[in-house]
A and B are shown apart, each in its own frame.
Chain A
């Protein structure tokens, strides 16, 4: 029984990582209307940038992370502007755009391999001694991951509901044509979304790397399909759905992982298939597209 509760504890950590990454992916998917298969590599690049600022430039971890967030926001906006936008302007269908993101994925992954090599690195942060927290046994770093994720979700919520930009993001995601004829220019909204995506991808990647205690160039890519499971489970383009999806996938994978640890991530897809069989629109029922 204690193993079971312990697994739920780990599940919350995984859920925290998945929520950070999943919300970034689903927001961009909703606003731009195509899936981004380079997202895993964007996460990884964010991790390496943080690591460069932290372990090589010897900045404090928080400062290193903040710098990496700014860089990744800029890199994601630049990628979208330089590579994706010409295809979008040409009216390419979502399938073509998805394949272009595969290309971006290869480019980013090759850049990472070329600069940092294929070996694994680690942040070597303090706080890896587990604390006894009632039924849970978690390290301070894992608690920090959960705290960061909850705080980030709250900030995303405020951004989406309290600011004009956030409302415009949701409007463009909900019905882009209506947004256009109502005077909302999609371009600045799409740019802001990519910036936010870069920030969340980096936070998710760093949380993943810190939780796994080491990372290599395949970090984000290996995790990408679990993130897609979270996004689809929550309903594409629905940030609150992704948060709930992350909680479900995180806890279920860790608990099932007690019995079949080698298939932990695959469990995410079993959950996805089972849920979609009964609720094709995802966990959160929307008020209907109209």
Chain B
């Protein structure tokens, strides 16, 4: 399967991954179109987080292929995928705790011009100008995400919800075309839930596509136009949440449990 299948932004074909003797993902194929918000649901242990790892590149597949933005990225490292616009957030929101909030956003800026000490020594004016531009974009993004008053605080002091917003700010700075959100509502206060939902919607409006792993079906219903259901490492079904509610195997595997 080395021909690019379809013209979706992300296409995953028949990926599998085993950890030791456990087949975390047995067979997963899915796609996400440009600007689409696609849900990924399933009971615990279905392999959803492994799929996020496989797509972002932190987990190497045992087989299958990952296509992103018209290129086969199966063998690409996570930083190469990120540079192309494939970015992720984590179930437990992650930040660089000892960097300030604005530094957390600035450091995610695309471009490789910060990667040389020689540039620091010999192209200082250009380097400093670039850094000022990054500061300004980062400030604008913090403004957008309501984090501007925390600009100079170390990210380690943020609450779970604030860190989630910071994650979204970071992937915005990183030029995300597709963002993988691994349980974006985990560990967030109700007040910040709405903020996170609003931010995801406005990013979608600006053209960012999402693959959202989420347990809360209310959130899935609100955000996702299409939902992929996984169970035991396999894709069980794909459709709108309404369609999926009609399917007995899906209800048995997952929906029934949370609808009781």
Contact = CB atoms under 8 A, between A and B. Distances in A.
B142 to A, nearest CB: 16
Contact of A183 (B82, B93, B99, B106): B82
B106 to A, nearest CB: 6
A182 B170 contact: yes
Contacts of A167: 99, 103, 106-107, 114
Contacts of B96: 170-171, 174-175, 178-179
Given A180-B78, A182-B107, A185-B79, A164 B94 contact: no
Contact of A180 (B79, B130, B154): B79
A183 B107 CA distance: 9
Interface string B122-166: 000001101100100000000000000000001111000001000
A287 B97 contact: yes
A182 B115 contact: no
20 contacts: A163-B114, A164-B109, A164-B127, A164-B131, A165-B116, A165-B120, A167-B114, A174-B98, A178-B95, A180-B79, A180-B82, A181-B78, A181-B87, A181-B88, A183-B83, A184-B79, A184-B107, A195-B117, A288-B97, A289-B97
A131 interface: no
Interface of A: 159, 161-165, 167-168, 170-171, 174-175, 177-186, 188-189, 192, 195-196, 238, 286-290
Nearest to A289: B97
B115 A189 contact: yes
A163 B117 CA distance: 9
Given A184-B108, A287-B157, 19 more contacts: A163-B127, A164-B114, A164-B127, A165-B117, A167-B107, A170-B96, A171-B99, A174-B96, A174-B97, A177-B58, A182-B87, A185-B79, A188-B115, A195-B117, A196-B117, A287-B98, A289-B156, A290-B95, A290-B163
A142 to B, nearest CB: 29
Contacts of A181: 56-58, 78-79, 82, 87-88
B92 interface: yes
A78 to B, nearest CB: 15
A287 B117 CA distance: 28
A contact face: mostly helix, strand, loop, or mixed: helix
Contacts of A178: 90, 94-96
A78 B170 CA distance: 34
Interface residues of B, number: 46
Contact of A162 (B77, B90, B131): B131
Contacts of B130: 164
Contacts of B90: 178
Nearest to B170: A182
| Most chain A beta-carbon neighbours within 10 Å: one of B56, B77, B82, B115 | B115
Contacts of B108: 182-184
B113 interface: yes
A179 B109 CA distance: 11
A290 B134 CA distance: 24
B82 A168 contact: no
Interface string B67-106: 0000000000111101100011010111111110001001
B166 to A, nearest CB: 11
A281 to B, nearest CB: 12
A287 B155 contact: yes
| Most chain B beta-carbon neighbours within 10 Å: one of A181, A186, A238 | A181
